[in-house]
Structure 1
Amino acid sequence: MKMALGFLTVILIASFAPFAYASDPSPLQDFCVAVNDSIATVFVNGKICKNPKMVVADDFFFSGLNKPGNTSNPLGSKVTAVNVNQIPGLNTLGVSLVRIDYAPYGLNPPHTHPRATEVLVVLEGTLYVGFVTSNPADPNQKNKLFTKYLYPGDVFVFPQGLIHFQFNVGHTNAIAFAGLSSQNPGVITIANAVFGSDPPINQDVLTKAFRVEKNVIDYLQAQFWWNID
Structure 2
Amino acid sequence: MKVANLVGVLALLALAFSFATAYDPSPLQDLCVAINDTDSAVLVNGKFCKNPSLYTPDDFSFSGFDVPGNTSNQLGVHVNIVTVDLMPGLNTLGVSMARIDFAPNGGLNPPHYHPRASELLLVLEGTLYAGFVTSNPDHRLFAKILKPGDLIVFPFGLVHFQLNIGKAPAVAIAALTSQNPGVNTVANAIFGASPSINPSVITTAFHLDRKTCGGSPGSRMGEPYISTL
TM-score by length of 2: 0.80
Q: 1-side partners of 2:120 and 2:26: how far apart?
A: 15
Alignment pair present for 1:57 and 2:57: yes
Q: Does 1:207 align with 2:222?
A: no
Q: How far, CA to CA, are the matches of 2:80 and 2:49 in structure 1?
A: 25
- Structure 1: give runs of 5+ residues left out of the alignment: 26-40, 137-141
SS at match of 2:214: helix
- Cα 1:10–1:162 shift into 2, 3 Å: farther
Are 2:137 and 1:155 equivalent residues in the alignment?
Answer: no
- The one-letter code matched in structure 1 to 2:190 is V
Q: Of the candidates 184, 188, 200, which is equivalent to residue 184 of structure 2?
A: 188
The alignment-based identity, stated in percent, is: 54
Worse-superposed segment, 144-153 or 196-205 = 196-205
Cα contact 2:69–2:78 (8 A) shared by 1: yes
Structure 1 counterpart of 2:200, one-letter code: D
Q: Name the counterpart of 1:12.
A: 17
CA contact (8 A) 1:24 1:92 kept: no
- Larger-gyration structure (1/2): 2
What secondary structure does 1:176 align onto?
strand
Q: Which moved more, 1:209-218 or 1:142-151?
A: 209-218
Partner of 1:123: 124
For 1:20-39, list aligned pairs within 5 A: 20=23, 23=26
Question: Who is 1:90 aligned against?
Answer: 90
Query: 1:119 is matched by which residue type in structure 2?
Result: L
| Structure 1 residue 112: Cα displacement | 0.2
Preserved contact between residue 27 and residue 45 of structure 2 (Cα < 8 Å): no
Structure ranking higher on relative contact order (CA contacts 8 Å, 6+ apart): 1
- Report the AA paired with residue 123 of structure 1: L
1:21, distance to aligned residue in structure 2 (A): 8.0
In structure 2, relative to structure 1, the CA distance for the partners of 1:207 and 1:10 (3 Å cut) is farther
What amino acid sits opposite 1:113 in the alignment? H
Instruction: Give the whole-Å Cα distance in 2 for the aligned partners of 1:130 and 1:43.
Output: 36
Please give the alpha-carbon distance, in whole angstroms, between the structure 1 residues aligned to 2:121 and 2:24: 22
DSSP-derived class of the 2:153 partner: strand
Partner of 1:108: 109
Cα distance in 2 for residues equivalent to 1:111 and 1:21: 25
Alpha-carbon distance in structure 2 between the residues aligned to 1:200 and 1:148: 35
Amino acid at match of 1:88: P
Runs of 5+ unmatched residues, structure 2: 29-40, 216-224
Specify the SS of the correspondent of 1:43: coil
Whole-angstrom CA distance in 1 between matches of 2:145 and 2:67? 25
Aligned-pair CA distance for 1:54: 2.4
Shift of 1:62: 1.1
Indicate the RMSD between aligned Cα atoms, in angstroms.
2.6
SS at match of 2:189: helix
Amino acid in structure 2 at the alignment position of 1:159 = P
